[in-house]
Amino acid sequence: MLTSNLVLGAAGAGFNGGDILFQLAAFLILLALLKKYAWGPLMGIMNEREQHIANEISAAENSRKEASSLIEEQRELIKQSRLEAQGLIENAKKQGDVQRDEIIALARTEAERLKESAKLEIEQQKEQAVAAIREQVASLSVLVASKVIEKELSAADQEKLINEYIQEAGEGR
């Protein structure tokens, strides 16, 4: 009973040509239907995803490159501006120095000029004073001479008179 069951083809008596044809047809139909309705769309979406991922990766790569180039640019800019600022400071310093020297020199010459003019004025005043004294001395001596001539005087009187006049002259001043 069991042995006959195990013999090849025991399930059917004779040749099952119909089964073969049916199996073949069923499998081919299944293949076509699945390709159209299941595997095709599934493969499509998988390909689409693959494409999408590839695109995303390349986009990310691009933006990364862009970002790094931007960073480089910014760094360059910062460096440049720092240099510029340094230059500006340097310039300002230099200019300040120059200005300071100029101001000092100007002040010095001004002071010199003032001193010169003051000296000159002093000199003038002195000369004027001397001239005035000289004039008065001259007139005094003329006066003294006239007085002497006017009356004979004793030596004592003469001396007294000169002293008087000198005193007078001192008081007159």
Residues lying near another protein in the complex (CB under 8 A) = 1-2, 4-6, 8-24, 26-27, 29-31, 33-35, 37-46, 48-49, 52
Q: How far apart are CA 123 and CA 121, in angstroms?
A: 5
140, with CB counted inside 10 A (0-12, 13-18, 19+), is: middle
User: Least CB distance from residue 60 to another protein, whole Å?
Assistant: 17
Residue 27 or 88: the one with the smaller Cβ distance to another protein is 27
- Using the 8-state DSSP alphabet, how is residue 35 labeled? I
User: Least CB distance from residue 47 to another protein, whole Å?
Assistant: 11
- Tokens found for residue 83: 């240099």
Residue 33 or 120: the one with the smaller Cβ distance to another protein is 33
Geometric angle at alpha carbon 134, from 129 and 139, rounded to 5°: 130
User: Least CB distance from residue 57 to another protein, whole Å?
Assistant: 15
Residue 31 or 67: the one with the smaller Cβ distance to another protein is 31
Residue 38 or 106: the one with the smaller Cβ distance to another protein is 38
User: Least CB distance from residue 64 to another protein, whole Å?
Assistant: 23
Q: How far apart are CA 79 and CA 72, in angstroms?
A: 11
Rounded to 5 degrees, φ, ψ at 35 are -60, -40
AA letter at 152: E
User: Least CB distance from residue 62 to another protein, whole Å?
Assistant: 21
Residue 31 or 133: the one with the smaller Cβ distance to another protein is 31
Helices (H), the chain: 2-6, 17-34, 40-150, 155-172
